[in-house]
A and B are shown apart, each in its own frame.
Chain A
Amino acid sequence: MAIEFLLNGTTTSFDGDPETPLLWVLRDHLKLTGTKYGCGIAQCGACTVHLDGKNRRSCVTPVGTIAGRKVTTIEGVAGKTAEAVKTAWVSIDVPQCGFCQSGQVMSAISLLSAKPKPSDDDIDHGMAGNLCRCATYVRIRQAIHDAAKTLEKTA
């Protein structure tokens, strides 16, 4: 039986093995490839999406467990916080290879949604699950602080 969920605001269904991780449903079946595979065991965070507004590693999330729930990917994430984060990311050129950055951006949006003015420690904790092999961490930290400032001004 098909599994229905809300994907980026649109009701979507997947008719296949309910054990299939959400990551591969998104990438292989729905062709939403902004969400990346990096490890398959929830160690790198490249596959981070929002499930009911909170971070979720899609590589270890069987699609059968998300029926009726709300999934947001990098392609669909929107709103003031999302815009502030993406703008900050571009304005200081955070990405290098860029492969992990969808996951980084999604985690940063979650972090700022929960903590609008994060400290360095908050960032260390909130972003600990997202690896960047290019080590763009200095700029990720800066971009999150910059986005927080933008949000404060427009609040």
Chain B
Amino acid sequence: MTAIASRREFLASSGLVIGLALPMGRAAAAAAPVEGAPFAPNAFVRIAADNTVTVVIKHVEFGQGPATGLTTIVADELDADWGQMRIAFAPANDPLYKNLMFGTMGTGGSTAIANSWMQMRNAGAAARAMLVEAAAKRWKVPAAEVKVSKGVVSHGRNKASFGELAADAALLPVPQKPALKTPDQFTLIGTDVPKIDSVAKSNGTAVFTMDVSRPNMVNAAILHPPAFGGTVKSVDKQAALAVPGVVAVEAIPSGVVVYAKDTFAAMRGRAALKVEWDLSKAETRSSDDLIKVYKAAAATPGKQAEAKGDATGALAGAAKTIEATYVFPFLAHAPMEPMDAVIELGQGADKGKADVWMGSQFQVGDMRAVAKALGIPFEGMTLHEQYAGGSFGRRATPDQDFATEAGFAAKAHPQAPIKFVWTRENDIRGGRYRPLVVHQLKGGIDVNGDIIGWDQVVAAQSFFANTPMAAMGIKDGIDDAIVEGAAKSSYAWPNYRIGCHVMENGVPTLWWRSVGNTHTAYAVETFMDELLALGGKDAVKGRIALMKEDRAKGVLNRVAELADWGRKPAEGRAFGVAMHKSFGSYVAQVAEVSKGADGLPKVHKVWVAVDCGIAVNPNVIRAQMEGGIGYGLGHALYAELVLGEGGRIAQGNFDTYRSLRIGEMPEVEVAIIKSNENPTGVGEPGLPPLAPAVANAWRALTGKAVRRLPFSHGENA
């Protein structure tokens, strides 16, 4: 269903649409029902005469759970029955649906619940207050005496469903500051409400962008240059056009697009393309070349991102020191559903308009990018947001690379709707990687074994460089996304310095599930482990002694209790621990590891303690911890993208970009810390502690500190 309800639609369906009553602006006033005026399209809650309650979801749903979470928050304040809840994805409209932490529509930084928490509560509470008022008027009783429970409004013997009251309630003014529940009054929040999309995602009926079909649609596939920064010099279209089913071949700024009657023909046409590329400006260095440059940079102090005391002096006077160089590879996000979009240009009277079906993560930014590529105004764009088959960060880019490309692909073949789908090879070789990173660390302990000095230098590209977000992302030569997790860490080292080098090369990079924490957590938590061991300290107690925040200590204590830390491991096994705070959430993990048949760590079990404030849906939180662990482990053990000779990516599909399989997934046990703090995210924070916990167990087991990821990299053999 459409998320925007016009006044006419509202009258036709006798539905109640409740606007948001927000601290953020004019929305509430605009949403008040005014007779004869178009109904304000700024609704999060829609109650229909058939008694369904639809929550408009302003975030992309790619498995992290906002469709369920946001709906739970509304349903709780509304005292709805879970069975009557439905969802609809929001249109691309910043004034109504912006992420309150971003200022534009977008999903990232594990903010979906965090930024929407009060907004959704107010939306639900306002709806409830209006239903109560409508019932009170109908029954001529005081509103204060009207009760609402599980979707039923009642007073004594009087009972009514939301649907029965919707038409009356719609005529009432929207309360600006509806009374909210206190946490002890929550009935759905904090419970394992069934996920709203599980049925459709278990029987094949959930619709993703790739499943969308339009009349007369053609399928489009693209061939990109073989190295980053390459461009099309010339195309010989004949071989591709000779493939049965291929209808057109067009060069666009980022590659060559083949249009065909079905996907198979498009892919065959793509394979038959003869393109001469201009690689004069391409990045032709190999990963090895780049690593040498990065290592040289990391050996120098770089810009100072954060410091306290005198790290250099402390290290010079230390009883013992360790130095280490860490190397992290480029990584692809590789969501199961490759990047895709369906675009249909308006014809005739609708010229200058376009409909886009997409699992967009930056809804407004993407529509602006498509509009710009098409040369039409943003106002002509209609986004039909779809479920997205994973993202891990890939579907949000500061420069809207994919949306722009899809827009150009549609513009080059305007006569038919196009379904533009990347092949897996496009995805693996398409860039926007987790950057290559080198960390240089030096740490020292005193005669008591206490850590007295910490010096860490991080060298990585900034994915904000050369994008519209550059000024925001890079300040004084420092990008917080490079050092986050090392800077603002959980530890109160008495003397420390965190340095930053913003590196440049031609490989496009991007945030990847947990962003800078993907590598800073590994470097900090494995190096801490080594220093604590060097000083004869216990890995849990030693960390806690240096921790600044109670919530950090809390998760570490809880996971130690859960895993029975300190017990002797079974023969051939070892335990490792790590704790990391990211996106406002605290996660500690203990991994139980042995040596697998392939010579790599075999992870048997991971115990997790997570503090993410109020647990809106514990089941979703556990799922995200499991998912973060699986995603983190697969990449830590097996995954790297290697730029080979001439800058060509050696990997191309899941045969060479190895992903975790079911037999490699550990058992996971999760404890959620009880909290009354406002909720923070869980989509990313489960990932950072996993790899260091495994590495720490591996070092305990084998004596070997792994400082180059993945574990399967030849240097670790």
Contacts and interface: CB of A to CB of B under 8 A. Distances in A.
A136 interface: yes
Contacts of B201: 95, 98, 101
Given A41-B653, A96-B64, A89 B202 contact: yes
Given A90-B199, A93-B623, A136-B626, A75 B336 contact: no
A31 B582 CA distance: 42
Interface string B163-207: 000000000000000000000000000000011011111111111
Interface in B262-281: 262-265, 267
A134 B662 contact: no
B665 A137 contact: yes
B337 interface: yes
A128 interface: yes
A71 interface: no
Contact of A20 (B203, B264, B334): B264
Contacts of B494: none
B634 interface: yes
Interface residues of A, number: 56
A95 B202 contact: yes
A27 B419 CA distance: 12
Given A20-B262, A97-B62, A99-B208, A131 B659 contact: yes
A128 B662 CA distance: 6
A112 interface: no
B202 A133 contact: no
A39 interface: yes
B534 interface: no
Given A130-B662, A131-B661, A140-B662, A96 B63 contact: yes
Contacts of A31: 213
B203 A74 contact: yes
Interface in B618-653: 619-620, 623, 626-627, 629-631, 633-634, 653
B244 A98 contact: no
Contacts of B388: 97
Interface residues of B, number: 64
A139 B662 contact: no
Contact of A135 (B210, B245, B630, B655): B630
Contact of A99 (B198, B245, B336): B336
A94 interface: yes
B204 A75 contact: yes
B230 to A, nearest CB: 23
B204 A73 contact: yes
Contacts of A27: 211, 263
A105 B202 contact: yes
Choose among A125, A130, A136, A137 the residue with the greatest number of B CB atoms under 10 Å from its CB. Answer: A137
B219 A97 contact: no
Nearest to B392: A133
Contacts of A55: none
B667 interface: yes
Given A24-B263, A135-B626, A37 B210 contact: yes
Nearest to B61: A97
B663 interface: yes
Interface in A25-67: 27-29, 31, 33-41, 43-44, 46
B595 interface: no
Contact of B337 (A28, A35, A36, A125): A36
Q: Is the interface of A mostly helix, strand, loop or mixed?
A: loop
A33 B210 contact: yes
A43 B64 contact: no
Interface string B382-401: 00000111111000000000
A95 B198 contact: yes
A100 interface: yes
B139 interface: no
Contacts, number: 185
B219 A93 contact: no
A125 B664 CA distance: 11
A155 interface: no
A148 interface: no
A94 B264 CA distance: 31
A97 B63 contact: yes
A141 interface: yes
A126 to B, nearest CB: 9
A102 B200 CA distance: 10
A28 B263 contact: yes
A97 B667 contact: no
A98 B620 CA distance: 14
Contact of A41 (B204, B262, B655, B665): B655
Interface string A116-155: 0000000111011011111111111100000000000000
A39 B211 contact: no
Given A41-B653, A95-B202, A100-B336, A138 B668 contact: yes
B619 A93 contact: yes
Nearest to B659: A131
B454 to A, nearest CB: 33
Interface in A85-114: 86, 89-90, 93-102, 105
Interface string B230-271: 000000000000001100000000000000001111010000
Contact of B623 (A34, A86, A96, A141): A96
Contacts of B64: 96
A104 B387 CA distance: 18
A40 B197 contact: no
B336 A135 contact: no
B660 interface: yes
B353 interface: no
Nearest to B428: A39
B208 A134 contact: no
Contacts of B630: 132, 134-138
Contacts of B62: 96-97
A116 to B, nearest CB: 19
Contacts of A139: 623, 626
Choose among B244, B392, B424 the residue with the greatest number of A CB atoms under 10 Å from its CB. Answer: B424
Interface in A2-30: 16-17, 19-21, 24, 27-29
Contacts of B667: 138
B264 A98 contact: no
Contacts of A97: 62-63, 335-337, 387-391
A44 B335 CA distance: 12
A84 B265 CA distance: 38
A98 B197 contact: yes
A96 B202 contact: no
Contacts of A46: 336
Given A97-B387, A97-B388, A135-B634, A39 B424 contact: yes
B626 A98 contact: no
Nearest to A129: B661
A62 to B, nearest CB: 10
A37 B204 contact: no
A114 B203 CA distance: 21
A138 to B, nearest CB: 5
Contacts of B102: none
Nearest to A107: B662
A37 B198 CA distance: 20
Given A36-B389, A124-B662, 8 more contacts: A28-B263, A38-B654, A89-B198, A90-B202, A97-B391, A105-B204, A130-B662, A138-B668
24 contacts: A20-B264, A21-B264, A29-B262, A33-B204, A36-B336, A40-B653, A86-B203, A93-B194, A93-B198, A93-B623, A95-B198, A97-B63, A97-B388, A98-B197, A98-B389, A100-B336, A102-B204, A105-B204, A128-B662, A132-B662, A133-B335, A135-B634, A136-B623, A136-B626
- 4 A-B pairs closest in CB distance: A135-B630, A34-B204, A99-B389, A96-B63
